[in-house]
């Protein structure tokens, strides 16, 4: 089972309607008066102050008698909080002055604008089959403005700034108004008459998808360079600006210039179409598309979060990945928690009664009970399952050790987790700050810390959505869900101030009333809110009279963050000079501030256009004193040198390679800067290696040489021909010449070329041709020698796969015997699958009946690679040479939706379609769940599921971690297995790519750059396809996990796998 969809079980349920009434709205408060306490708990919620002990609940609990835990007043809720290190959670606002806060932003006057997501968790649209009725509240969301007029830390004045909005996810202040992200729209909303209510509302961007309520775009945040960054969410979208299509947002986050987006499209944009969109310079796509969270530290490092991956860092900029055709970075976003993505958490809240019922069903069976860990028996999970709102603390009110700490909410666990950050090469690593306890916990199950905001007073503000349930509607079993109200609490919500010990209310200036000159000192303020707001206001005003004052601050400040904001603001005022950057680099190296140096390298593109500024630091950055600490500087410089002329680029490349130190992001940065100089750079690298083969300083070059040659091949046979001719002319040693040819194979394969194509080129010199011919002949000899070392034979077959297919097939015929080691048999099968021509397809079909399962996997890869080969496969199925049942369900599904109409038609005749009534199949399989056997389930997992799922050391990580769904009910998992398309997440949708030379690729879309697309498929295999070769790129609209697994797995098989998943250790 290629079961990406077992992993998407969290969203694979059918939505049911609810009869219970929501809690009544709290009484409205008069503007300017404190919020009232919540209304009484509605009768439908049965109060139980003891909160139900999971040990005493009847194992056979009847869902019809599920009690519901009542919400608490703010005063009551505060008493349930436990906060570490002497901190205090101070109530800043509550209902009716605020409800359902999910994001907030402070304007220059210290007023808080709050995004209220009151329509969660439903959609206004009908969505079949998940939501057959439009039950979502229509335009129920709003933006509220809160004011603390008396400076006591309580927002006593509440005004509805803008209402009539849907799915309000985020706000960001700009030029007296706010940008409001409310999918499908991005609005700009402003109060122009000063009455506190917006009277101007403009849709500036539209097309953000509403596919999944927990995967929408979110969290608008200001960047250091005074633009606005948003998390695109897994939903993505097809964006339109003032009627002009600007292209898809797919697997990406985004940054926009707030001034430019409010402008008018130029004349050339009017001819844009969805197929040929306009690409404005002010809108930048960046790596991302994770769930909910977006935050920057003081130096511009960005962090995001997802449910079961609580902190990730954007390591590699998408703009750099786009520059070099054929290059794809290994990882643009990285999980950085030392404890792992779904790290342990220490919840103190009791389980909700509905969770108890769900768990008691599981443990009622003694066999199941024996398999469960202690944490599973206690009902609640012991790890992140609903991480949200990752935020870096950047204020000045907390003790010094809190500076730069990470705060993450787990809304399902009613807690706030804290981490510290430390350097890890060019990136960072995050480590739990509070051992065996969370920084904030609550015994109130309604406490939902969904997001955080750094405030003007130096404190962190906690946005508490305060809901009875926070789960996605599809993640609660149907019969249990029918007795809940998932909108309960939609009129409630709190904003808490997380205050340190002994906190005293500071006096905060209204920055909006200060002159530009008065704002300049705030660029070095200890609190990031002051720095960012001052920089934003100066950028909005474009008052260049203060440039001299900012430059004076730059030259005199001792503050590292002051240096950064002074540079950024000068750049925003179009006044940044090379001397400014040079000065900051001098200070950064003299005072050991690598993050400052890294920022200086990238700001304004100054270093990219003035090599002399950074060249003097090249050797210094790789010496013993700076090799480790200045990795961030070398990373940014490696990206910047892409703009340098070749005569300066290559020496810099050679020097910076000395500092790779095993860090993939550093080698990726260098490779991204090659652009169209792969051949010249490879020649220089190989020459350097030949001169100094044993020098430690060339170890980084050795790692890069193969990548450079492969990159030259990826760019086409023209570049590779020039490189090979050059290497021969420069008399490269024979062993390095051999390695160079082998290194070219990956790139040639990406281009759909072979060594045969290369040998046919007239401009390839005779000496180079002789070397290639000699390598192929030598490979044929080694491959045929049964007593040769397996490793040598494997390399030989890999080379033969790129040569004449007739030569390969002859050797393969002799070598593929029952006596051949199984690992070598797989290599032979893959070599034939990778070789060119239909003769190889006929050979694979003729050997199908005697092929072991591992070989058939490789055969199918080759047979599905092109339409002509696929037709040979289908002919074999039609004749009976290959049995229809021998093709896995995912392959049958691919054939039924193949881009070639003749293949689709024949496949539909040969393979019986899965039953459309998936719930009927689920009902037939459900009784077996009571007798699942985990031991048998492990064996089935390894045989059938491990191609796309990894648990421990078994399997491949194509879909998310199975441990993240082990707390789902068995029936929920059964639905996900048998009906994977009911609610598959966008990031696990299957895509098909057809190239202009007839090759077909399928898989989930894991990376997109301007030059290539990367698909990931079973066994973690990835295909990088150059965009210039793509003829068709489209989603199949279905999960990578196929429908119809019941044809391959019995009810007992599925029950056993589910039992095994449930028994996984967290």
Q: What is the pLDDT of residues 7-26, one digit of tens each?
A: 223 322 222 222 222 333 33
Exposure pattern of 689-704 as b/e (b: 16+ CB <10 Å)? beeeeeeeebebbeeb
* pLDDT bracket for residue 661 (50, 70, 90): confident
- Ordered strands of the 1030-1039 beta sheet: 1022-1026, 1012-1016, 1000-1008, 989-995, 1030-1039
Is the pLDDT assigned to residue 874 strictly greater than 70?
yes
Radius of gyration of the chain, Cα coordinates, nearest whole angstrom: 30
Pairing of the two strands 141-147 and 112-116: antiparallel
**What pLDDT is stored for residue 25 in this prediction?**
38
Residue with token string 């047979």: 863
Lowest mean pLDDT among 203-212, 366-375, 540-549, 976-985: 366-375
Q: Kindly report, residue by residue over 435-486, the tens digit of the pLDDT.
A: 999 999 999 999 999 999 999 999 999 999 999 999 887 677 777 878 889 9
* pLDDT bracket for residue 42 (50, 70, 90): very low
Span 390-401, average pLDDT: 98
Q: List 440's β-bridge partners, or say none.
A: 83, 416
Residue 350 makes CB contacts below 8 A (sequence gap 6+) with 51, 52, 53, 54, 380, 443, 445
Span 993-998, average pLDDT: 82
CA distance 696 to 699: 5
Lowest mean pLDDT among 1-15, 92-106, 739-753, 922-936: 1-15
* Global confidence as pTM: 0.83
Is the pLDDT assigned to residue 131 strictly greater than 70?
no
Closest CA to 89 of 78, 97, 99: 78
**What pLDDT is stored for residue 381 in this prediction?**
60
Span 353-359, average pLDDT: 75
The string of DSSP letters for 904-941 reads HHHHHHHSPPPPS-HHHHHHHHGGGGGG--HHHHHHHI
Q: Kindly report, residue by residue over 259-314, the tens digit of the pLDDT.
A: 999 999 999 999 999 999 999 999 999 998 889 999 999 999 999 999 889 999 99
Is the pLDDT assigned to residue 344 strictly greater than 70?
yes
Pairing of the two strands 295-296 and 302-306: antiparallel
CA distance 975 to 970: 9
Q: Is 638 helix (H, G, I), strand (E, B) or coil?
A: helix
Lowest mean pLDDT among 58-72, 104-118, 772-786, 847-861: 58-72
| Top mean-pLDDT range of 98-112, 134-148, 351-365, 913-927 | 98-112
Span 701-709, average pLDDT: 85
**What pLDDT is stored for residue 1030 in this prediction?**
86
Residue with token string 């601050």: 553
CA distance 1037 to 1028: 24
**What pLDDT is stored for residue 740 in this prediction?**
86
**What pLDDT is stored for residue 1033 in this prediction?**
83
Three-state SS for 396-423 is: CCCCHHHCCCEEEEECCCCEEEEEEEEE
* pLDDT bracket for residue 63 (50, 70, 90): low
CA distance 1010 to 917: 41
**What pLDDT is stored for residue 696 in this prediction?**
56
Closest CA to 27 of 689, 627, 492: 492
Q: Kindly report, residue by residue over 926-938, the tens digit of the pLDDT.
A: 888 888 888 888 8
Exposure pattern of 990-1021 as b/e (b: 16+ CB <10 Å)? bbbbbbeeebbbbbbbbbbbebbbbbbbbeee
CA distance 196 to 107: 13
- Inter-CA distances, 982 with 532, 874, 889, 918, 968, Å: 44, 29, 17, 9, 16
Q: Kindly report, residue by residue over 179-202, the tens digit of the pLDDT.
A: 999 999 999 999 999 999 999 999
Contact 228, 256 (CB under 8 A): yes
Q: Kindly report, residue by residue over 957-969, the tens digit of the pLDDT.
A: 777 667 666 667 7
Is the pLDDT assigned to residue 650 strictly greater than 80?
yes
Superfamily of domain 31-38+73-347+382-499: TolB, C-terminal domain (2.120.10.30)
Task: Extract the tokens encoding 995.
Answer: 């190239």
| Distance between first and last Cα of the chain | 23
CA distance 658 to 132: 60
CA distance 1026 to 1010: 9
**What pLDDT is stored for residue 783 in this prediction?**
95
Give backbone dihedrals phi and psi of 801, rounded to 5 degrees, phi first: -60, -25
* pLDDT bracket for residue 1040 (50, 70, 90): confident
Within 10 angstroms of residue 243's Cβ, the number of other Cβ atoms is 10
Span 819-832, average pLDDT: 93
Closest CA to 611 of 678, 575, 656, 668: 656
Lowest mean pLDDT among 121-135, 464-478, 859-873: 121-135
Q: Kindly report, residue by residue over 602-648, the tens digit of the pLDDT.
A: 999 999 999 999 999 999 999 988 989 999 999 999 999 999 999 99
CA distance 285 to 255: 6
- Inter-CA distances, 888 with 107, 114, 860, 1040, Å: 57, 51, 10, 13
**What pLDDT is stored for residue 11 in this prediction?**
28
Q: Which residue has the higher pLDDT, 717 or 253?
A: 253
Give backbone dihedrals phi and psi of 684, rounded to 5 degrees, phi first: -65, -40
Mean pLDDT value across the chain: 86
Q: What angle separates helix 664-672 from helix 699-714, to the nearest 10 degrees?
A: 50
* pLDDT bracket for residue 361 (50, 70, 90): low
Percent pLDDT > 70 in the chain is 88
**What pLDDT is stored for residue 972 in this prediction?**
76
Give backbone dihedrals phi and psi of 248, rounded to 5 degrees, phi first: -75, 155
Give, in degrees to the nearest 5, the angle at Cα 86 between 82 and 90. 65
CATH architecture of the domain with range 918-1062: Roll (2.30)
Give backbone dihedrals phi and psi of 445, rounded to 5 degrees, phi first: -75, -5
Contact 425, 633 (CB under 8 A): no
Span 878-900, average pLDDT: 88
Task: Extract the tokens encoding 647.
Answer: 């005569």
Span 58-62, average pLDDT: 46
Contact 891, 859 (CB under 8 A): no
CA distance 197 to 199: 6
**What pLDDT is stored for residue 43 in this prediction?**
31
Where do the domains of the chain lie? 31-38+73-347+382-499, 39-71+351-381, 918-1062
Exposure pattern of 82-115 as b/e (b: 16+ CB <10 Å)? ebeeebebbbbbbbbbbbbbbbbbbbbebbbbbb
Is the pLDDT assigned to residue 48 strictly greater than 50?
no
**What pLDDT is stored for residue 52 in this prediction?**
29
* pLDDT bracket for residue 178 (50, 70, 90): very high
Q: Which residue has the higher pLDDT, 919 or 179?
A: 179
Give backbone dihedrals phi and psi of 368, rounded to 5 degrees, phi first: -65, -45
């Amino acid at each position: 089972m290629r079961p990406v969809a077992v992993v998407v079980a969290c969203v694979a349920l059918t939505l049911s309607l609810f009869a219970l009434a929501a809690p009544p709205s709290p009484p409205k408060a008069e503007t300017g008066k404190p919020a009232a306490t919540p209304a009484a708990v509605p009768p439908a919620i049965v109060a139980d102050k003891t909160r139900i002990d999971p040990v005493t609940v009847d194992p056979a609990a009847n869902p019809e008698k599920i009690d519901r835990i009542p919400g608490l007043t703010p005063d009551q809720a505060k008493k349930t909080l436990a906060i570490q290190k002497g901190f205090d959670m101070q109530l800043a606002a509550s209902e009716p002055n605020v409800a359902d806060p999910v994001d907030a932003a402070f304007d220059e006057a210290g007023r808080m604008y709050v995004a209220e997501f009151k329509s969660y968790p439903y959609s206004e649209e009908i969505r079949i089959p998940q939501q057959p009725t439009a039950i979502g509240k229509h335009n129920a969301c709003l933006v509220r403005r809160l004011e603390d007029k008396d400076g006591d830390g309580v927002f006593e004045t509440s005004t509805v700034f803008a209402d009539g909005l849907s799915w309000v996810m985020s706000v960001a202040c700009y030029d007296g108004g706010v940008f409001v992200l409310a999918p499908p729209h991005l609005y700009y909303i402003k109060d122009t008459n000063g009455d506190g209510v917006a009277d101007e509302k403009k849709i500036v961007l539209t097309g953000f998808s509403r596919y999944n309520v927990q995967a929408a775009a979110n969290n608008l945040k200001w960047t250091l360079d005074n633009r606005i960054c948003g998390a695109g969410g897994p939903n993505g979208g097809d964006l339109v600006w003032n009627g002009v299509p600007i292209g898809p947002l797919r697997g990406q986050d985004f940054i926009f210039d707030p001034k430019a987006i409010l402008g008018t499209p130029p004349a050339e944009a009017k001819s844009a179409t969805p197929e040929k969109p306009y690409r404005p310079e002010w809108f930048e796509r960046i790596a991302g598309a994770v769930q909910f969270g977006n935050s920057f530290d003081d130096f511009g490092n960005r962090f995001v979060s997802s449910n079961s991956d609580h902190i990730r860092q954007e390591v590699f900029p998408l703009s750099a990945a786009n520059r070099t055709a054929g290059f794809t970075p290994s990882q643009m976003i990285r999980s950085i928690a030392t404890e792992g993505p779904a790290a342990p958490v220490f919840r103190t809240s009791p389980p909700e009664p509905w969770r108890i019922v769900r768990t008691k069903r599981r443990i009622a069976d003694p066999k199941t009970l024996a398999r469960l860990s202690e944490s599973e028996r206690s009902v609640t999970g012991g790890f992140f399952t609903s991480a949200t709102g990752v935020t870096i603390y950047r204020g000045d009110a907390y003790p010094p050790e809190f500076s730069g700490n990470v705060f993450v909410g787990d809304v399902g666990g009613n807690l706030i987790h804290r981490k510290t950050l430390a350097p890890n090469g060019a990136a960072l690593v995050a480590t739990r700050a509070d051992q065996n306890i969370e920084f904030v916990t609550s015994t109130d199950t309604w406490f939902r810390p969904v997001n955080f905001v750094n405030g003007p007073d130096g404190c962190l503000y906690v946005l508490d959505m305060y809901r009875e349930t926070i789960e996605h509607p599809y993640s609660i079993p149907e019969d249990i869900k029918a007795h809940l109200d998932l909108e309960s609490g939609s009129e409630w919500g709190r904003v808490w101030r997380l205050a340190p010990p002994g906190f005293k209310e500071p006096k905060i200036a209204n920055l909006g009333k200060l002159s530009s000159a008065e704002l300049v000192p705030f660029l070095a303020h200890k609190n990031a809110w002051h720095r960012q707001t001052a920089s934003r206001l100066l950028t909005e005003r474009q008052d260049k009279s203060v440039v001299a004052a900012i430059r004076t601050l730059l030259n005199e400040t001792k503050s590292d963050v002051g240096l950064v904001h002074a540079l950024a603001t000068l750049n925003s005022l179009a006044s940044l000079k090379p001397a400014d950057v040079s000065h900051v680099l001098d200070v950064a190296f003299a005072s050991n501030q690598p993050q400052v140096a890294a920022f200086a390298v990238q700001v304004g593109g100054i270093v990219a256009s003035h090599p002399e500024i950074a060249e003097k630091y090249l050797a210094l950055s790789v010496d013993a004193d700076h090799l480790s600490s200045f990795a961030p500087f070398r990373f940014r410089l490696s990206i910047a040198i892409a703009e340098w002329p070749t005569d300066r680029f290559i020496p810099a490349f050679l020097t910076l390679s000395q500092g790779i130190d095993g860090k993939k992001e550093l080698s990726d940065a260098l490779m991204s800067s090659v652009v169209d100089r792969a051949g010249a750079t490879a020649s220089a690298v190989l020459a350097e290696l030949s001169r100094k083969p044993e020098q430690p300083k060339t170890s980084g070059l050795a790692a890069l040489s193969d990548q450079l040659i492969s990159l030259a091949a990826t760019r086409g046979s023209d570049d590779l021909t020039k490189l090979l001719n050059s290497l021969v002319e420069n008399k490269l040693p024979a062993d390095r010449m051999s390695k160079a040819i082998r290194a070219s194979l990956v790139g040639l394969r990406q281009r759909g070329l072979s060594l045969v194509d290369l040998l046919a080129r007239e401009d390839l010199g005779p000496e180079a041709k002789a070397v290639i011919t000699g390598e192929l002949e030598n490979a044929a000899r080694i491959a045929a020698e049964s007593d040769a070392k397996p490793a040598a034979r494997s390399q030989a077959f890999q080379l033969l796969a790129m040569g004449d297919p007739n030569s390969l097939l002859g050797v393969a015929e002799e070598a593929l015997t029952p006596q051949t080691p199984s690992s070598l048999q797989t290599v032979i099968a893959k070599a034939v699958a990778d070789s060119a021509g239909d003769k190889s397809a006929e050979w694979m079909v003729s050997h199908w009946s005697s092929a072991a399962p591992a070989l058939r996997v490789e055969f199918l890869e080759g047979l599905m690679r092109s339409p002509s080969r696929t037709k040979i496969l289908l002919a074999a199925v039609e004749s009976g040479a290959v049995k229809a049942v021998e093709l896995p369900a995912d392959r049958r599904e691919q054939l039924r939706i193949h881009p070639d109409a003749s293949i689709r038609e024949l496949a539909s005749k040969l393979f019986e379609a899965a039953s459309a009534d998936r719930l009927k199949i689920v009902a037939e399989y459900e009784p077996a769940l009571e007798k699942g056997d985990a031991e048998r389930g492990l064996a089935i997992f390894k045989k059938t599921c491990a191609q796309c799922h990894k648990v421990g050391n078994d399997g491949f990580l194509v879909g998310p971690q199975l441990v993240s769904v082990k707390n789902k009910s068995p029936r929920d998992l059964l639905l996900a297995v048998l009906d994977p398309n009911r609610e598959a997440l966008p990031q696990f949708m299957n895509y098909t790519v057809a190239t202009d030379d007839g090759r077909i690729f399928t898989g989930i879309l894991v990376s997109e750059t301007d030059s290539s697309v990367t698909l990931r498929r079973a066994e973690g295999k990835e295909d990088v396809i150059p965009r210039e070769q793509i003829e068709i790129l489209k989603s199949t609209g279905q999960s990578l996990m196929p429908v119809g697994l019941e044809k391959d797995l019995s009810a007992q098989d599925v029950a056993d796998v589910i039992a095994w998943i449930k028994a996984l250790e967290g």
